[in-house]
Homo-oligomer: A and B are copies of this chain.
Amino acid sequence: MRILIIGGAGMIGQKLVARLVKDGKLGTAPIKSIVLSDVVAPAVLKAAFPIQTQVSDLSEPGQAEALIRDKPDVIFHLAAIVSGEAEADFERGYRINLDGTRHLFEAIRRAQYRPRVVFTSSIAVFGAPFPDAIHDEFFLTPLTSYGTQKAIDELLLSDYSRRGFFDGIGIRLPTICVRPGKPNRAASGFFSGIIREPLNGVEAVLPVSEDVRHWHASPRAAIGFLVHAATMDTSVLGARRNITMPGLSVTVGEQIEALRRVAGEKTTGLIRRQADPTIVQIVQGWPRNFSAKRAVDLGFRADRSFEEIIRIYIEDDLPQGSISI
């Protein structure tokens, strides 16, 4: 089993590699090698098999072909610029998030072999107004260029799979929470920030009201989705190869209450309310809740509670000694 991870320097990419190194196999197949590709050099773990890195930008001509030259069995395509950046720079968003993905799909088609391709899409393919819980047959109405690009990639993935050019599966990740490390340019950053910064003893700004409801999955659950997508029997998918992943629907108030239960009043006291009209407006267009029945039927598993999500952050990512709980 030879694996290519595109977007391997990112948070999800790095956590995926760590999981694969720990498991030593993907499903039942022993891992022979991993190639990590990204626009910046990915960090590399020590492993029982070779891990190579490749600095590569899919949107540049010829780079996709070079990446798949050795015909990896499984390709995780995680690379994208985030929503805020794709909205701020229209041309760059389309170049990276649409053309880059299309180059990859085309390179695979021309190489005439049929790898499993796991593509990370996003709930940003949906746009308000919504039903109370978005079901699996609700239409895609993105309200951002990022969401548009992901929705287009999904359509391409379905068509290339239907044609037999590869065996693709697109998974629409919930907002990842708690995202470790520094904030990125995603407008959704505060959902993690209000948990992460206080746990690290740092003040966090909450730019929306506490009744804002959103859809979350821990990084650990997301890695579980990726591994399951790479190993499951895709013949049951038929022509519908893009699936909303299960998650937890909670309000910001419920997030804060869970944090209080896990880490106490002093920690939640580090959350400062300061409304940001721009973010308030963006968030109004975002999904709040899903049924995600199909994913659950297909064996994808969400976190069980927001407290569990917080504990996963503490176990997997919190720098030692930041809190005493």
Contacts and interface: CB of A to CB of B under 8 A. Distances in A.
Interface of A: 90, 127, 137-143, 145, 148, 151-152, 155-156, 158-159, 162-163, 239-240
Given A139-B140, A140-B140, A239 B145 contact: no
Given A127-B239, A163-B90, A239-B127, A151 B155 contact: yes
A234 to B, nearest CB: 16
Contacts of A163: 90, 145
Contacts of A239: 127, 141, 143
Nearest to A129: B238
Contacts of A141: 158, 239-240
A99 to B, nearest CB: 10
Contacts of A148: 155-156, 158-159
A129 to B, nearest CB: 9
A156 B152 contact: yes
Contacts of A159: 142, 145, 148
Of the candidates A138, A155, A239, the one having the most CB atoms from chain B within 10 angstroms of its own CB is A155
Of the candidates A152, A158, A159, A239, the one having the most CB atoms from chain B within 10 angstroms of its own CB is A159
25 contacts: A90-B163, A127-B239, A137-B138, A137-B139, A138-B139, A139-B139, A139-B140, A140-B140, A140-B155, A141-B158, A141-B239, A141-B240, A142-B155, A142-B158, A142-B159, A145-B159, A145-B163, A148-B155, A148-B156, A148-B158, A148-B159, A152-B152, A152-B155, A152-B156, A155-B155
Contacts of A158: 141-142, 148
A168 B261 CA distance: 50
Contacts of A240: 141
Of the candidates A90, A141, A143, the one having the most CB atoms from chain B within 10 angstroms of its own CB is A141
Contacts of A162: 143
A143 B162 CA distance: 8
A162 B152 CA distance: 16
Nearest to A157: B148
A75 B136 CA distance: 35
A88 to B, nearest CB: 12
Nearest to A241: B141
